[in-house]
Amino acid sequence: MLKRFLPNEHVKSIFEIKPSDLHDKGIKGVITDLDNTLVAWDVKNASPEVVEWFKLMKDHGIKVTIISNNKEERVKMFSEPLGTPFVFSARKPLTRAFKTAAQQMELKKEEIVVIGDQLLTDVLGGNSAGFYTILVVPIVQTDEKITQFNRRIERKIMNYFRKKGMISWEE
C-alpha cells in the first residue's frame, strides 16, 4: 500500500524537468499541480521563469494541463494567461481529475507524467491512476492548514522509505 506514495522521480523544481528527458521516456504530456509546485501557494500569477518553462514544453510538443484542488477562480486566474487547460476542485488524490486531464490531452497513461509537491495528493493520485510521477520540493515551507496536516504524515512516510532504502534524497 505504501508504494503508492513512492514517486518514480524526485527533483528540486520543475525547472529540472527538461523536454528532452521527457521525450526519452516517451512522455508527450504533463499533468502538474499548481500551488507550491509551479508557484508559492499564495502567489497569484506565473513568474517569468514559469512562463518560459510552459513555452519550452509547448515548443517541444509537450501538452501541459494544470490540476488543482483549489477553487476555479484561483486556477483559472493562473492558467488562462498561459493558455493552459486546467481542472479545478480536483479532489486529489481521487483519480477522476487525472483521468479527465489525460482524456482532454488525448494521450495514453504511459505518455503522461504527473508532477507535484505532495505525496498525499499528487503522487498518490498519479500513481493510483497509473501515471509516471515526479515529486518536486515545495516552493515555500508555509502551507494552508490542511496541507500542514498532510506534510506531517508525508514526513513519516518519507522517513519509512529512507529507512527501507527506497529513497536517497533529502527534503
CB atoms under 10 Å from CB of 52, counted, come to 12
CATH number for the domain harbouring residue 69: 3.40.50.1000
pLDDT of residue 171: 55
CB atoms under 10 Å from CB of 73, counted, come to 9
Please state, in angstroms and rounded to a whole number, the distance separating the CA atoms of residues 131 and 153. Answer: 22
Q: Could you tell me if residue 11 is inside a domain? A: yes
Chain-wide mean pLDDT for the chain?
Answer: 92
Instruction: List pLDDT tens digits, range 120-137.
Output: 999 999 999 999 999 999
Please calculate the CA angle 85-90-94 and round it to the nearest 5 degrees: 130
Q: Could you tell me if residue 155 is inside a domain? A: no
Q: Which three cell numbers stand for residue 98?
A: 487525472
Local structure of 112: helix, strand or coil? strand
pTM for this predicted structure: 0.91
Q: Could you tell me if residue 153 is inside a domain? A: no
Please state, in angstroms and rounded to a whole number, the distance separating the CA atoms of residues 60 and 154. Answer: 34
The range of the structural domain enclosing residue 86 comes to: 2-141
Residue 53's contacts (CB-CB under 8 Å, 6 or more residues apart) are 14, 15
Q: Could you tell me if residue 146 is inside a domain? A: no
Instruction: List pLDDT tens digits, range 27-68.
Output: 999 999 999 999 998 899 999 999 999 999 999 999 999 999
CB 13 within 8 A of CB 136: yes
Q: Could you tell me if residue 164 is inside a domain? A: no
Q: Could you tell me if residue 149 is inside a domain? A: no
Q: How many domains does the chain fold into?
A: 1
Please state, in angstroms and rounded to a whole number, the distance separating the CA atoms of residues 71 and 64. Answer: 19
